[in-house]
Amino acid sequence: MLLNYKYQALRELGAISMTITAINPATGETMKTYQEMTTKEVRALIEAADQAFSTWRQTTFGHRTEHMRQAARILRDRNNEFAALMTLEMGKPITESRAEVEKCAWVCDYYAENAESFMQPEIIPTDARKSLVTFQPLGAVLAIMPWNFPFWQLFRFAAPALMAGNVGLLKHASNVPGCALALEDIFRQAGFPKGTFTTLLVGSPRVAEIIANPLVKAVTLTGSVPAGKAVAAEAGALIKKTVLELGGSDPYLILEDADLEAAVQTCVTSRLINSGQSCIAAKRFVVVAPIREKFEALFVEQMQSRKLGDPLEEDTVVGPQARHDLRDELHAQVQTSIRQGARCLLGGAIPDGQGAYYPPTVLTDVRKGMPAYDEELFGPVAAIIPVADEAEAVRVANDTTFGLGAAVFTGDLEKGERIAATELQAGCCFVNSFVKSDPRLPFGGIKESGYGRELSSYGIREFVNIKTVYVT
């Protein structure tokens, strides 16, 4: 269970006083400490959200669009401010932080432009005088969001959910409280009515308490597999809709006819996005035997050339990991894989000095049974898995409990499309490109990477009542 009920009782009576602290992972310094909200405060905010929903759901798409476009303008006008906040709280390289803020503005504009058409009733010919399908908002949706993309993960939920007429409740990761409060401020400054979007500043033990509130109608979570299972169990027991975007161990297939230099550049870029801390970053590189040695040489050269350093510096590609404990867990996975027979071609050692840094690392001769094969490596560590041919490459790519993203590199586009479309077991499959999210395309996974879809027309219809109306 996510909720310890003795803890809840003491917390409600004021016997426990909890704080949430933001720590700069580049320096280890405490930035700011925040007081956790009490159970009484959380209940009041959820009630206010429900009251806001009764009005917000009646507003026109034109009205919602004005506010959503204003949110996009605020994001662009204050890009540097928000980017610096992300970088300081979780260590993202500053250039990537700026790009993340701009992407959030894009998704706001996208749904401001398209939400009304996505939500138009569909007329279905039947024996009735008229039959149609309508899309009605559900109410307050709880978003449990991670630290790795502290703005983007939230906006890709909030933009479609609010444009559909729902209201949002945010329980953000505890290491990015400043981002969580800034997100609420953006919606307030954009003119969204009070209660339409609310940050609940609480720790993870409080999640079940919030899900159990009858005014919370649905839940979306981006996070780990254990967290997803726990949230699904809590929400499922109450028959509440969930959308889960969980971990990934994305395979990239490098076939013999690939443009090797272009493939390596793309693979290294993907592996090091967000300092390697992305669910859809390339993680397992499945390389056919004839090109293995050349691929490894080029790959190590490119990984080695990427700067590890202060995330506030413009030329830094790899910043610190978000927390020291996460860095240490990653290092343990690397060392275990090496003890089990993997060869380390680059990196693999914790650097001296302050900060939660981990260097770009390349492992090869990775086999089933090693953490580098079986588990998600959430950091700048690449696992090269040599295979004999295309058939074995596809088998190895699918030999995972995850199914979020995958990519194939080949000079034969028809073959690449066939492999991506019919053979790779993942929700997002790319050819000669790294996996990425795009507001115009549905995003999500299968197997232990979760279920449901975000973005595009599919995403906005996840948290609505798809209602049949039949008129004789």
Q: Higher pLDDT residue, 18 or 226? A: 226
Q: What percent of the chain has a predicted confidence (pLDDT) above 90?
A: 96
d(CA 177, CA 202): 9
CATH classification at residue 22: 3.40.605.10
CA-wise closest residue to 198 among 207, 186, 209: 186
CATH classification at residue 376: 3.40.309.10
Which domain covers residue 389, as residue numbers? 250-401+405-439
Give the mean model confidence (pLDDT) for residues 292-308.
98
CA 209 to chain centre: 23
Give the mean model confidence (pLDDT) for residues 223-227.
97
Domain co-membership, 359 together with 240: no
pLDDT at residue 39 tops 60: yes
pLDDT at residue 209 tops 90: yes
d(CA 448, CA 340): 25
Cα 440 to Cα 73, 118, 151, 342, 372: the distances in Å are: 20, 12, 18, 40, 33
Q: What length is written for the chain?
A: 472
Q: What is the pLDDT of residue 134?
A: 98
**Residues annotated as catalytic (active site), given as ranges:** 245, 279
Domain co-membership, 220 together with 309: no
Q: What is the pLDDT of residue 12?
A: 44
Domain co-membership, 255 together with 241: no
Domain co-membership, 456 together with 370: no
pLDDT in tens, 108-119: 999 999 999 999
Q: Output DSSP code: residue 277.
A: -
* CB-CB contact of 109 with 72 (8 Å): yes
pLDDT at residue 11 tops 50: no
H or E, element range at 261? helix 260-272
pLDDT at residue 268 tops 90: yes
For 360, the token pair is 């770009």
Domain co-membership, 370 together with 426: yes
- Residue 15 CB partners (closer than 8 Å, separation 6+): none
Q: What is the pLDDT of residue 406?
A: 98
Return the percent helix, strand and coil in the chain, to nearest 5.
45, 20, 35
pLDDT in tens, 53-69: 999 999 999 999 999 99
Q: What is the pLDDT of residue 18?
A: 85
| Nearest-10 Cα torsion for 204, 334, 331, 178 | -40
Strands (E), 19-124: 19-23, 30-35, 122-123
Domain co-membership, 191 together with 269: no
Domain co-membership, 311 together with 379: yes
d(CA 103, CA 99): 6
Residue 93: other Cβ atoms inside 10 A: 28
pLDDT in tens, 230-247: 999 999 999 999 999 999
Buried/exposed 448-472: b ≥16 CB within 10 Å, e otherwise? bbbbbbbbbebbbebbbeeeeeeee
Mean pLDDT of the chain: 96
- Name the domain count of the chain: 2
Give the mean model confidence (pLDDT) for residues 27-48.
97
Q: Higher pLDDT residue, 12 or 199? A: 199
d(CA 199, CA 412): 48
Q: Provide the pLDDT confidence category of residue 13 given band limits of 50, 70 and 90.
A: very low
Domain co-membership, 230 together with 100: yes
- Residue 146 CB partners (closer than 8 Å, separation 6+): 153, 173, 222, 223
Cα 45 to Cα 51, 221, 348, 367: the distances in Å are: 10, 20, 46, 50
Q: What is the pLDDT of residue 14?
A: 42
Domain co-membership, 331 together with 430: yes
Domain co-membership, 227 together with 315: no
Domain co-membership, 294 together with 167: no
pLDDT at residue 1 tops 90: no
Domain co-membership, 237 together with 292: no
For 444, the token pair is 């999500």
pLDDT in tens, 393-447: 999 999 999 999 999 999 999 999 999 999 999 999 999 999 999 999 999 999 9
